[in-house]
Chain A
Amino acid sequence: MHLSVDIKKNFPGLKLHFDFTLEANRCGILGPSGSGKSTLMNMLAGLLTPESGHIVLDGDTLFDSSRSINLPPEKRRVGVVFQHSHLFPHMNVAKNLFYGRNRQLAGAARIDDAQLISVLQLNSLLERQVTSLSGGEQQRVALGRTILANPRLILLDEPLSGLDEALKYQIIPHLRKVFTEFTIPMLFISHSLEEMRLMTDDLLLMGHGVIDRQEKTEVLARGTVSERGFVNILKLGEAQNIDRLHRRNWGENNLYLVASGETAPGRFQINARDIMLFKQHPEASSARNILNCRVSALRDLEWFVRVEMELGGQRLIAEVVPQSVEELGLAPGVEIVAVVKASAFHRLF
């Protein structure tokens, strides 16, 4: 996706001026509440008209005040998934899903209905009334409805913030799967860096009414102080049962995790403060994962030092107190042993 935006809009007490060019398919807009994220989204979708400027998406001008171009929302092919699902209450699930698709030009459909319905696990819900669905189910229907309308860009306005933690992790895999399988560019709006790390590769960072800068999501996460410690997100392979533990591949490495019911591959998190560092290989340890790493960078965060390490093509971050850095002689290039307990991993999805 190529998106070029330069628009202005004034509200009492807030002047908005968004000026950016974006060349990314999984991008997030991160900013505090009240910074104008939703306003930007509404202007991109055509639900709100900027005072001046232009919006160009993949070479098509959606808005240009100097040429008096302002495509109505239905002509822009920019889909929106709102914070709450906003399903049509007088239609059942199937009618909601196909509302947008039925309004596309014949032959324009790029998405296979059956495939999408199965990816989102909506088969058993099709005849249900939308008012009888749970919050997570409603959000899945809303997502499916938007995708079937065949948009060239989907805007997601905090689609997870209305859901509780457990539901959130049920929805995220669906979201990821849909955007990977159907290769639809998206702009994901949120104020949660954690959601951004799971959903996006690039970020637009928003200040009050302006885009401050653009950054890779992981780069930003590594440099951001987190009160509860940096969270490593690991993509692990399928589990094999070994000595009542689960062994999972992580790139070229093998990790041992406490056995759980689920053996499928998935995303796991480890808090950077749950990783212990040793100068040499401890002869015997109760911890099951003893990993030889090389320090690639150190980042001083006042009370903690963030130690970035590389091992077998992967990256792992630990947080230790400054005294430890001195005693271990940590510096870029130094070989070190990271020790992680089998119980320190938590499955995200």
Chain B
Amino acid sequence: MLSPDDFTAIRLSLEVATTATLLALPAGFAIAALLAFSHIPGKAIIEGIVNLPLVLPPVVVGYLLLLFLGRHGWLGSLLDRFGIQVIFTLKGAIIASSVVGFPLLVRSIRLGLESIDKNCIFAARTLGASWWDTLFTITIPLSFRAILAGMTLMFARSLGEFGATIILAGNIPGVTQTIPLAIYQYTSMPGGDSMALSLCLVSIILSFMVLLVSEAMNRRLIRN
């Protein structure tokens, strides 16, 4: 029912979603902490920029990334000098997913951080814990469920990423073709309906598993 190419697409999808989520996590946490705790000027602007991919059409995000990271782009030309190419590679797919999923991650973590009793953090400091110590023993454990929720959302969003990916990374079977891109290709192919449907089913199962796993982890956290 599934061709070897389909299995490659599934593997690539999981690879892109996992890498994008893990790469975005430290930055996502840092930005969320900045938005939740600090009183720096220009907070609204940072917030706007972070949330922009949430409201922009993914195609627009992809196109802007292409302008930015393309061979003649500002960052692209710089990377090109070091022999690093982003567009039409798996890196491009990961970057596209990271950017599009980032606001979901930040929003979720930020809500979690804002719900922490700030005096708990102060108490830890006066009890002799340094800033980093407090981060790892109080702040992260107390926002762990929110971090997990953010990662789940971002992972799921990355699995389904299409618009930005197809522009930045193209639709190259075996290289950048993830499940949504493969489905798109099948639907424009005569007689590809059943193949598309099989991948749709895989997509549904994967998403469902993500939800189940995150729910199970959440329950365990509550119990502990």
A residues lining the B interface (CB < 8 Å): 45-47, 72-74, 76-80, 82, 84, 86-90, 99-100, 103-104, 142, 145-146, 149, 151
Contact = CB atoms under 8 A, between A and B. Distances in A.
Nearest to A100: B127
Among B123, B130, B141, B142, find the residue whose CB has the most chain A CB atoms closer than 10 A. Answer: B123
A77 B122 CA distance: 13
Interface in B112-157: 117, 119-120, 122-131, 133, 137-138, 141-142
A74 B122 contact: no
B128 to A, nearest CB: 4
Contacts of A99: 124, 127, 129, 137
Interface residues of B, number: 18
Nearest to A104: B128
B119 A86 contact: yes
13 contacts: A45-B126, A47-B125, A72-B131, A73-B125, A76-B126, A77-B128, A79-B127, A82-B119, A84-B119, A86-B117, A88-B123, A99-B124, A103-B133
- Give the most central of A74, A84, A103, A151: most B CB within 10 Å: A74
A149 B127 contact: yes
Nearest to B141: A90
Given A73-B126, A76-B126, A88-B120, 16 more contacts: A47-B122, A47-B125, A72-B125, A74-B130, A77-B128, A79-B126, A82-B122, A82-B123, A86-B120, A86-B123, A87-B120, A88-B138, A100-B128, A103-B128, A149-B127, A151-B126
A87 B122 CA distance: 11
A151 B127 CA distance: 8
B122 to A, nearest CB: 5
A89 B130 contact: no
A184 to B, nearest CB: 14
A89 B144 CA distance: 13
A73 B141 contact: no
Nearest to B224: A90
B119 A74 contact: no
Contact of B128 (A74, A88, A89, A90): A74
A74 B125 contact: yes
B127 A103 contact: yes
Given A86-B117, A86-B119, A86-B120, A80 B138 contact: no
Contacts of B123: 80, 82, 86, 88, 142, 145
Contacts of A100: 127-129
A310 B16 CA distance: 86
Interface in B148-176: none
- 8 nearest A-B pairs in the assembled complex, by CB-CB distance: A100-B127, A103-B128, A73-B125, A86-B119, A149-B127, A80-B126, A74-B128, A73-B126
Contacts of A84: 119
Contacts of A77: 128
A226 B127 CA distance: 39
A80 B118 CA distance: 14
A89 B120 CA distance: 9
A158 to B, nearest CB: 13
A89 B130 CA distance: 19
A99 B129 CA distance: 9
Contacts of B125: 46-47, 72-74
A145 B130 contact: no
